[in-house]
A and B are shown apart, each in its own frame.
Chain A
Amino acid sequence: MTLYLRLFWEFFKTGLFAVGGGMATLPFLYDISDRTGWFTHTQLADMIAVGESTPGPIGVNMATYVGYLTGGVGGAVVATVGLVAPSVIVILSVAAFLKAFRNSRYVAGAFYGLRPASTAMITAAGLTVMRVAFLRGGVWGGLAWKAVALAAALLVCTRVLKTTKKWHPIVWIGVSALVGIAFDFGA
């Protein structure tokens, strides 16, 4: 029971403070991982892949996945309800004062500051995933060169080449999985 309450509370906080969509929940999930030990950083990186390649919003998918790992089916439901509860409350209040909200200088000012902060926190989360993906056995264990080569190829495909740029991320996740199996990644 206490586990469910803690799950709900952690995801309620995430839903309340993560501004800017799915990836914005990442820094909060890393924080939860550090404080509770419910899941590891490596598991979290895998969750992002599962969240991206299954239907539905990424943020919701990640909450469900974390909830399931920690507390089974009940945990999945509790974490998801915790994540969306603040949205429902906030949006219902905003809907009541829609005009005032849109024209408020304070709201505009707050989001002017929140957007770069959210971008910075996602960057920090990305660096944590990079440590798991590119370094072998800690910071001084050396670079995993096969991983670096794959990343370079993916960057070219998703940012440079016109034809492949628009393809859905699920394609690249599938390709990366196959490359990982074929070239013995993580060994």
Chain B
Amino acid sequence: MLRELVELFLTFARVGVMTFGGGYAMLPMLQREVVERRRWADEEELADYFAIGQCTPGVIAVNTATFIGSKRCGVAGAIAATAGMVFPSLLIITLLAGVIRTYSHLAWVGRAFAGIRVCVCVLIFNAVCKLWSKAVVDRPTLAIYALVLLGMLTLRGSPVVFVLLAGAAGIAVQALRGKGGGAK
């Protein structure tokens, strides 16, 4: 039991170290470590976990790790796998944040970050485009997108409120459709 927990921790720590950016970038690494090397799950199971990880709250990579950990060793396994997943981030970011803070007052570092911010805009734009094709599929979803965007820009309210309202709106729209004869 203890050996398996250590193995879970180390395997997911390795996945964490070797993927940049998380999300989809993580899938091939998980396939290699979890399916091919350890045989903890088959391809289909992994795809299922990943899909559920995407549509449940939280970071996708952590959700997938929790799933596989709990399948192997229950709650303890879930915690070991998740701890392994976040351990490299904690270590690397903590070291790096200290370095950045020390040098951030230098003029050339400021210029470098001014350039990087432009790149971040493009990365976010690309992420939105990727999400858009799966999220905005018809008129009701377009309306939800427009209303939430408008609300975020004008009301400055907590995102939690928008998440709850959008979830309720989704259930309502689907329920109305069901009554109307299932026209999709």
Q: Which residues of A are interface residues toward B (Cβ below 8 A)?
A: 13, 15-23, 25-28, 31, 34, 42, 45-46, 48-61, 64-65, 68-69, 73, 76-77, 80, 83-84, 86-88, 90-92, 94-95, 98, 101-102, 105-106, 108-127, 129-130, 132-134, 147, 150-151, 154-155, 158-159, 168-170, 172-173, 175-181, 183-187
Candidates B70, B111, B171; contact of A185 at CB < 8 Å: B111
Q: How far is the CB of B74 from chain A (nearest CB, A)?
A: 9
Q: How far is the CB of A141 from chain B (nearest CB, A)?
A: 14
A169: chain B residues at CB < 8 Å are 20-21, 119, 123
Candidates B53, B82, B111, B168; contact of A180 at CB < 8 Å: B111
Contact B118 A52 (CB under 8 A): no
Contact A28 B97 (CB under 8 A): no
A16: chain B residues at CB < 8 Å are 57-58
Q: How many angstroms from the CA of A88 to the CA of B134 in the assembled complex?
A: 26
Contact A112 B174 (CB under 8 A): yes
**Chain B interface size range:** 35 or more
B78: chain A residues at CB < 8 Å are 88, 91-92
Q: How many angstroms from the CA of A165 to the CA of B146 in the assembled complex?
A: 29
Q: How far is the CB of A100 from chain B (nearest CB, A)?
A: 12
Contact B57 A19 (CB under 8 A): yes
The A-contacting residues of B in range 86-125, CB under 8 angstroms, are 86, 88-90, 92-94, 96-98, 100-101, 108, 110-125
Q: How far is the CB of B105 from chain A (nearest CB, A)?
A: 13
B53: chain A residues at CB < 8 Å are 91
Q: How far is the CB of B175 from chain A (nearest CB, A)?
A: 7
CB contact under 8 A between A179 and B115, given known A87-B57, A88-B78, A133-B120? yes
* Most chain B CB inside 10 Å of its own CB: which residue of A20, A54, A119, A129: A119
Q: How far is the CB of B46 from chain A (nearest CB, A)?
A: 14
Q: Is the interface of B mostly helix, strand, loop or mixed?
A: helix
Nearest A-chain residue to B122, judged by Cβ:
A154
Q: How many angstroms from the CA of A150 to the CA of B114 in the assembled complex?
A: 11
Q: How many angstroms from the CA of A172 to the CA of B121 in the assembled complex?
A: 12
Nearest B-chain residue to A147, judged by Cβ:
B118
CB contact under 8 A between A27 and B96, given known A19-B56, A105-B174? no
Contact B70 A91 (CB under 8 A): yes
Contact B52 A101 (CB under 8 A): yes
B6: chain A residues at CB < 8 Å are none
Q: How many angstroms from the CA of A55 to the CA of B17 in the assembled complex?
A: 5
* Most chain A CB inside 10 Å of its own CB: which residue of B54, B117, B119, B121: B119
Q: How far is the CB of B21 from chain A (nearest CB, A)?
A: 6
CB contact under 8 A between A113 and B173, given known A45-B117, A88-B79? yes
Over the window 139-153 of chain B, the binary record of Cβ atoms lying under 8 Å from chain A Cβ atoms (1 yes, 0 no) is 001101111110011
Q: Can you name 5 extra interface pairs (CB under 8 A) apart from A46-B117, A48-B120, A169-B123? A: A88-B82, A111-B170, A151-B121, A169-B20, A181-B115
B165: chain A residues at CB < 8 Å are 117
A112: chain B residues at CB < 8 Å are 141, 170, 173-174
Q: How many angstroms from the CA of A96 to the CA of B60 in the assembled complex?
A: 18
A54: chain B residues at CB < 8 Å are 20, 89, 92-93, 96
Q: How far is the CB of B39 from chain A (nearest CB, A)?
A: 19
Q: How far is the CB of B113 from chain A (nearest CB, A)?
A: 5
CB contact under 8 A between A111 and B94, given known A80-B89, A129-B121, A187-B111? no
